[in-house]
Structure 1
């Protein structure tokens, strides 16, 4: 996502306002979700990697009930066992516009590991 699009994304929580900005721009462009689905998926996996690197999350395949609930096949398990869908959060941001920013989502996310969200 970062090298192909030349965005200054460094897998930090502080980089997530850039993702918010781009997703908001896609939303305002009037393009359909189907038209931007690959880009939304790329940003969703980027947000997931931020959670892996900064909050102790791990990628998981959702089971059938989780897939039905989140509308996605993969997501994150946090250190306390809670599961989240960063891909779903990006889609919600695109479709809803005014929903919580991705940066705020990561900073207030329940179940983070003990280390700081910005710790290396």
Structure 2
């Protein structure tokens, strides 16, 4: 039986390859989180998988894989960050954490689960950007807004729309 750290590596590579089927590139940059947000916009709605979409089957493993990718990307972008796992925890796939150099813990799988459940209100790109902006110095990628700009629900107002 593989350890959680081994599973993280396996699932991270799997999701990178799987996203290629939707022409979505995951390249271990924070910008690639826009592609994940695009994926969720295409394959989920109101906390449910879209019929015949890529989340309709194997939802748990796919969310774990995306969470593993998010965590691995943060580790690559934040010097000193490491995985924290507990192979004895029966909920270990959900409680894996990334520990930052200052001791802050981030739970990427739980964050991905929130993205699925809450939709674009919990988008991953702004989350990753805020965590890394001081180190990267990169500007916020405005194309993100195009991914989530059209509300799926009639009459729903998003926090960034004031009119």
> TM-score by structure 1 length?
0.75
Is the counterpart of residue 53 in structure 1 residue 76 in structure 2?
yes
Is the counterpart of residue 75 in structure 1 residue 89 in structure 2?
no
Q: In 2, are the aligned partners of 1:24 and 1:93 still within 8 Å (CA)? A: no
**Structure 1 runs not aligned, ≥5 long:** none
CA deviation map 1:47-100 (0-9, x unaligned): 1011011113211026x9xx6xxx823111011101011111111000111323
Q: In 2, are the aligned partners of 1:24 and 1:94 still within 8 Å (CA)? A: no
Q: Whole-Å Cα distance in 1 between the matches of residues 78 and 32 of structure 2?
A: 15
1:39 aligned to which of 62, 65, 74:
62
Q: Whole-Å Cα distance in 2 between the matches of residues 101 and 117 of structure 1?
A: 20
Say which SS state the counterpart of residue 94 (structure 2) adopts. Answer: coil
1:2 aligned to which of 2, 16, 41:
16
**Structure 2 runs not aligned, ≥5 long:** 1-14, 139-163
1 or 2 for the larger relative contact order (CA 8 Å, sep ≥6)? Answer: 1
Q: Whole-Å Cα distance in 2 between the matches of residues 24 and 15 of structure 1?
A: 15
| Higher alpha-carbon Rg | 2
Deviation at 1:107, TM superposition (A): 1.5
> Residues 83 and 75 of structure 1: is their aligned pair in 2 closer, same or farther, counting only changes over 3 Å?
same
Say which SS state the counterpart of residue 84 (structure 2) adopts. Answer: strand
User: How many pairs are equivalent?
Assistant: 112
Deviation at 1:106, TM superposition (A): 1.1
Instruction: Tell me what 1:19 maps to.
Output: 36
Q: Whole-Å Cα distance in 2 between the matches of residues 53 and 88 of structure 1?
A: 19
Say which SS state the counterpart of residue 97 (structure 2) adopts. Answer: strand
Instruction: Tell me what 2:153 maps to.
Output: none
> TM-score by structure 2 length?
0.57
Deviates more, 1:97-106 or 1:48-57: 97-106
